[in-house]
Amino acid sequence: MSVVDPNMDGVPLSMESIEENQVPADLNNLTEYRSSNRLSRMFCTNCAAHMFIRSNQQADGAPSSYAVMWGVLEKTDGIFTIDKHIYVGDTLDGGIADHIRTFDDKPLARLEGWDEKALSVGWKAQPEHKSPETLPLYCHCKTISVYLTRALKPSENPAEYWLVPGKQPTDPIKFIAAHCLCNSCRQTSGGQIQTWAIVPNENIFDAATKAPIELVEPERRPKGLHQYISSDGHHRESCGTCGATVFWWRKMKEGESPHMDVSVGLVDQVAAGGARAESWISWYPRIIFNEFAISKEVAKVLAEGVKASVTPV
């Protein structure tokens, strides 16, 4: 749900470069996706890790400039800092800005756009938004478009914690979601934070066919999905066009109800009333695999922000 992209001087360099002999990197293994007239996003053709953002348009006619995604770096603490959230207004509910409130013990500015007015913690554009009957999710290019339906009853298996009943019997069941800081998520997305919701297979539908998605069956996979096996039995699915992270799944153990992880970054924030989709999602109050975080500061402030924002489930 978050992107941090420090700007670079010059172009990406090869590993053998030294200060006296700078050799431009070979970027042929990256897929380029033009997300706007101004920007292109470059991601690994194999694993879909986003590596660079390139500016295609300089006001003064200067050559293109690059920014690097912070999740593909070996180290960030002591090198980079964060001082603000931008385009918070686009989230309609503050998005991850409510979960990352400070950095290096300093409050982060929360700007509506690039440099517009500040928005307060807890701000919502639509406080009384009505929850939709289904929840649409899609990537930037909309090659991958799916929707979720409501779970109708909690699981009778206490190990299946991902279905969260409401406080009242008439409240809808929500899907649990959490931020993950593991190495595999980081290195296959390009971000330090990957946010997943756990959803039963029976509640995930392909918007094009209106049929339930079953990723192990080729004919029931959404067209345009690209698969990468990050470790034995662990499958990661992304959009082959824009590189958006979509699903994580594994083979079910005996007796398990089929389920998969769905990337929360795909949520249609207008339909959901906000990027955090809190009428559908119950946020897990702890961070997953925070011990693997390459930035201890990110792990710390994210845990603090989630604790301040989330009611324990």
Contact predicate 104/225, CB 8 Å: no
- Residues 6+ positions from 277 with CB-CB distance below 8 Å: 135, 264, 267, 269
Per-residue pLDDT of the chain (313 residues; tens, 9 = 90+): 555 556 667 788 878 877 888 878 888 999 999 999 989 999 999 999 999 999 986 666 667 888 999 999 999 999 889 999 999 999 999 999 999 999 999 999 999 999 879 999 999 998 878 888 999 999 999 999 999 999 998 888 888 899 999 888 889 999 999 999 999 999 999 999 999 999 999 999 999 999 999 999 999 999 999 999 999 999 999 999 999 999 999 999 888 899 999 999 999 999 999 999 999 999 999 999 999 999 999 999 999 999 999 865 5
Measured CA to CA, the distance from residue 275 to residue 267 in angstroms comes to 6
Distance separating alpha carbons of residues 237 and 301, to the nearest angstrom: 29
What would you report as the CA-atom Rg of the chain, rounded to the nearest whole angstrom?
Answer: 20
Please name each of the domains of the chain with its CATH number.
135-309 (2.170.150.70)
Q: Give the side-chain half-sphere CA count within 13 A for 273.
A: 16
Predicted TM-score of the model (pTM)? 0.91
| Cα–Cα distance for residue pair 225/221, rounded to 1 Å | 7
**Closest C-alpha to 202, from 276, 152, 247:** 152
Beta bridge partners of 119: none
Please name the amino acid found at residue 245: T
Structure tokens at 42: 């470059």
171 close to 269: Cβ distance less than 8 angstroms: no
The pair of three-digit structure tokens given for residue 41, joined into one six-digit string: 């996003």
Residue 96 tokens read as 């991850």
